[in-house]
Amino acid sequence: MHSRLLSSSVGCWRRGARPWTLPIKPAVNWSGWRLYSSAAAVKPKPEKPYYVTTPIFYVNAAPHVGHLYSMVIADVLKRWQQLQGCTAVLCTGTDEHGMKIQQAALAANTPPKQFCDSGAEVFKSLAQEADISYDHFIRTTDQKHYDAVQHIWHLLADRGLIYTGKHAGWYSVSDETFYPESSVKQILSPTTGRKTMISTETGQEVEWAEETNYHFKLSAMRENLLEFYAKNPDFIVPAARYKTVVDEVTSGLSDLSISRPRTRLSWGIPVPSNEEQTIYVWLDALVNYITVTGYPWTPGKESVGGWPADVHVVGKDIVRFHCIYWPAFLLALDLPPPKQILTHAHWTMNQKKMSKSVGNVVDPFYAMKRYGVDTMRFYMAHDGGIADDGNYSNREIISRYQSMLQGGLGNLTNRICSKTFDLEAAIAFGVDSSDLEMTEADKQLQEAVETVGEKVFEKMAKFDVPGALKEIMALSSMTNRYVQHSVPWELKDSSVAAQRHKIIYLSSEAVRVCGILLQPFMPTKMSALLDQLSVATDKRGFEYAFFGKDRTYGVGSSGRKAMLFPPLNEEALG
């Protein structure tokens, strides 16, 4: 069996460019394996690391499954770049200023900084427990962040973009923002009969507030923003939210109140020219994304830390802040905005929004303890919503685990590593043999192994994380069906050894490629799977996620069965 292998060069993904060379489709001789020829593409060394961020999380309450989801999606994107040989950095952290924090600390009878210290540790623990490979954990109470925010205030003021004025409007403490009259409505509580004004966008209560503070000339940035959006039609993912943002900016922008009287909000960064005012939390918080890259930068070192960010991962509830306010601040400073913003949907339970008052909020720590870290990472990525909300279900987690992981990929891996077969001999046979009859099922499986890398790449290029994961799991499911139909355990006679070896080789290639591609999603479990197949650590990158690319694995793997996905215990099933 002759196999000339795909030669590929792997580098960082950039929009409009592929980091690897696709196979040149040859004439196919189905009496043996496909023959490949390709020219290796030499990519220049990237000028900056690929930079991914999560939103920074408020420390006024305990983490919920939505925080875990943002972290997992961002971590998958970072690890996906690393899988291609790209240097990538991930930033997460905590938002520790503002009215919500001040009120929560007061309610807890704890000094604000002490309250924030405790909350930050909880979020850091969540990231560590979920195997989030973050490089920076930013806190907005960090001195370097404090200095950067005041520096930006000075620059905006020097450019004549800040002025003082009286501001009146409907203010939401929960959302930390003012809403215009058109964005609020009155509701009547059916139980208390109390009339309340709420934001039509978030459902949070608002109250009328009048105060004198500083304003940013957001209205003056309208044309700059529209020009930026027009030049960057993929700036916001998914496209529907891009259209919503463009429509909102097109209809006109009001100037933005960017400070609060210190008599009302004392917990925050003071305005450098007026310590009677506190800088608005959303101007403060958004700066974190450049703080961690070393801003203000040394001339010539602007991109060393990763800016502009390649992707901000945020929830759909904070689109306005990240897609209007943030690029407006940056454009006003002549700084490049982030390249893209991935705005994901939320999690519901029983098709209802998660709420503490309803009692349907999921504790991510308990969920990971109950089902396992990689299981929850898998479920978050597989069932989470980008455009539409995902519906959290313990039943679905158990179903995914038992069918896709335990009974699927785990069972398949143990089958091909069984003592019944000689995996090392099967791989040697697959690499060296040049003449073997291929059935239609053989051809279809090889075709699936050959093309899955390209399919996953294209999904990930569009930030379709669930779609990419489903492509990999479709190959795993197909391979399980192939093995079940081929019944290699019945091919015991030496006269059919070649046929048995062919089945095991094709199946092992599918498992190896699945294991490589699944590393960003389930890093610990896939490390164990690739160890079980004796795949060398330097042959686990994306360039090896193609049929026949690795000729050396499988040594000593026969009989090396492992419980990658053991049966769930009673607590998990309960």
Q: What is the mean pLDDT of residues 85-104?
A: 96
Same-domain pairing of 331 and 209: yes
The confidence score (pLDDT) of residue 206 equals 82
- Domain identity same for 406 and 324: no
Alpha-carbon distances, residue 348 vs 317, 319, 354, 360, 361 (angstroms): 14, 19, 5, 9, 9
3-state secondary structure 440-465: HHHHHHHHHHHHHHHHHHHHHHCCCH
pLDDT grade for 436, boundaries at 50, 70 and 90? confident
pLDDT of residue 430: 87
Quick one: 83 and 179 in the same domain?
yes
Cβ neighbors of 261 (< 8 A, separation 6 or more) are 211, 212, 213, 276, 277, 278
Q: 497-524: b or e for each residue (b if 16 or more CB lie within 10 Å)?
A: ebbbbbbbbbbbbbbbbbbbbbbbbbbe
pTM, full prediction? 0.88
| Structure-model confidence comparison of residues 519 and 6, the more confident one | 519
Whole-number pLDDT of residue 12: 52
Q: How far apart are CA 344 and CA 380, in angstroms?
A: 12
Q: Which of 344, 360, 377 is the last residue in one of the domains?
A: 344
Q: Average pLDDT for residues 36-44, to the nearest whole number? A: 40
Q: How many Å is the Cα radius of gyration of the chain?
A: 27
When pLDDT is cut at 50, 70 and 90, the band that residue 382 belongs to is: very high
Residue 93 lies in a domain: yes
| Separation CA 66–CA 392 (nearest Å) | 10
Q: What is the domain count for the chain?
A: 2
- Per-residue model confidence as pLDDT tens digits over 540-551: 999 999 999 999
Residues 327 and 226 in one domain: yes
**Would you tell me how many other CB atoms lie within 10 Å of the CB of residue 54?**
25
**CA atoms of 215 and 166, how far apart (whole Å):** 9
Q: Out of 42-46, 222-226, 450-454, 566-570, pick the least confident.
A: 42-46
Domain for residue 263, yes or no? yes
Is residue 437 located within the same domain as residue 497? yes
Q: Say if 542 falls within a structural domain.
A: yes
pLDDT at 374 > cutoff 90:
yes
Which residues form the domain of 223?
50-344
Q: Give the tokens for residue 68.
A: 């875990």
Q: Are residues 177 and 86 in the same domain?
A: yes
Domain termination residue (choose one: 344, 373, 403): 344
Residue 124 has pLDDT above 60, yes or no: yes
pLDDT band at residue 360, thresholds of 50, 70 and 90?
Answer: confident
pLDDT, mean over the chain = 89
Give residue 572's pLDDT.
83
Does residue 38 belong to any structural domain of this protein?
A: no
Assess if residue 125 is contained within a domain. Answer: yes
pLDDT tens readout for residues 148-174 = 999 999 999 999 999 998 877 787 766
Contact 120, 139 (CB under 8 A): yes
DSSP 220: G
Between CA 500 and CA 523 the distance in angstroms is 31
Do 405 and 324 lie in a common domain?
Answer: no
Do residue 69 and residue 209 come from a single domain? Answer: yes
* 107 found inside a domain: yes
State whether 161 and 306 are in the same domain: yes
Q: Which residue has the tokens 């790209």?
A: 86
Residues 142 and 287 in one domain: yes
Residues 272 and 398 in one domain: no
Tell which residue, 571, 527, 531, 548, has the closest CA to residue 83: 527
Percent of the chain topping pLDDT 90: 75
Confirm whether 24 is domain-assigned. no
* 360: its two tokens: 């349907």
240 & 314 share domain? yes
> What CATH number has the domain bearing residue 269?
3.40.50.620
Does residue 4 sit within a domain? Answer: no
Average pLDDT over every residue of 364-385: 97
CATH (domain of 432):
1.10.730.10
**Residue 1's pLDDT is what?**
41
Which contacts qualify for 169-173: CB closer than 8 Å, 24 or more apart?
Answer: 169/208, 169/209, 170/197, 170/199, 170/206, 170/207, 170/208, 170/209, 171/206, 171/207, 171/208, 171/209, 172/199, 172/202, 172/204, 172/205, 172/206, 172/207, 173/99, 173/100, 173/103, 173/205, 173/207
